[in-house]
Homo-oligomer: A and B are copies of this chain.
Amino acid sequence: MNIAVLGAGNMAWHLSKALIHAGHPVKQIWNRTADKAVALALEIGADSITNLNQIDTDIDLIIIAVSDEAIASVAKELKLLPQQLLVHTSGSTVLDVLLPFTQKAGVIYPLQTFSKAVELDFSQIPIGIEAFDESSTQALFNLVKALSTKTYYINSQQRLILHTAAVFACNFTNHFYSIAQALMQQSGLDFNLIRPLIQETAAKVQQVLPSEAQTGPAKRNDQLTIQKHLDLLQTNTAWKLLYEQISQDIVKMYAKDTSSLK
């Protein structure tokens, strides 16, 4: 399948490179900001286009990888041919958003955190797909199976739930790393001191479920330690409030398990 990618953000960048790497020709890159399209097109050896009606007639698959609120407006500008398959890559946007424009519609949803600066092994990334009809489903499965060993079908409602879960497990988690970074910087502590802890926290739940891996003052309902931390955080009311609420949530979840000392 000849592919055009619309967008040049983190998702477009990583997905295009993975497709090329798997032998799928990504031939055209479009982006609202032209220089970003040029940069990605250069990186993967594709053509950049500045107008959505410049998509070639030999393109079989058009991947919309723009911000969620721009998906419909980008789709609307396309002059689609009957055989062209149109997909988006959004976790929180229903498949139906594409149906006003074509019934050959689908979703490719790689669940991972993408930053341009960090290389990724796409073969280990779970990729969820959804499509409106059976033949599009099959075409998308054939495509993503070349990218990853972990492919699965997921409908729009489940994908929204998965995306919400991912915000907690990835985005909020990284923000908490940032809070740790800020607290440590303020008192001259090297962030390297906490990196092994972060690594091990993620490594543990590769083997067991998070509910089995919980540790810390709130898990032990250790109010003495919790109070010391709250006192330390009193100059940052937002972080103090977060500390209180999350600790309460943990205490509630593990209230019955009071056996362990530490």
Chain A interface (Cβ < 8 Å from any Cβ of B): 7-12, 31-32, 65-70, 91-92, 111-115, 117-118, 120, 124-126, 128, 150, 152, 154, 157-158, 160-181, 183-184, 186-189, 191-220, 222, 224-225, 228-229, 232-233, 238-239, 241-243, 245-246, 248-250, 253, 260-262
Contacts and interface: CB of A to CB of B under 8 A. Distances in A.
Given A67-B262, A232-B161, A174 B215 contact: yes
B92 A171 contact: no
Contact of A169 (B11, B128, B198): B198
Given A118-B207, A168-B180, A209-B191, A175 B246 contact: yes
A217 B171 contact: yes
Contact of A166 (B8, B192, B194): B194
Nearest to A114: B215
A66 B176 contact: no
A125 to B, nearest CB: 6
Contacts of A253: 175, 178
12 contacts: A12-B262, A66-B262, A91-B225, A112-B196, A113-B215, A117-B212, A161-B186, A165-B180, A167-B243, A171-B216, A180-B210, A245-B245
A169 B113 CA distance: 18
Given A161-B187, A187-B158, A204 B113 contact: yes
B187 A169 contact: no
Nearest to A31: B261
Contact of A262 (B10, B92, B126, B211): B10
A174 B201 contact: yes
Given A125-B196, A171-B215, 12 more contacts: A65-B262, A91-B225, A111-B194, A126-B193, A128-B193, A161-B232, A166-B197, A169-B177, A171-B214, A181-B209, A201-B202, A242-B246
Nearest to A164: B229
A183 B161 contact: yes
A210 B177 contact: yes
A142 to B, nearest CB: 21
Contact of A112 (B164, B167, B200): B200
A219 B170 CA distance: 12
Contact of A183 (B154, B165, B204, B213): B165
A174 B210 contact: yes
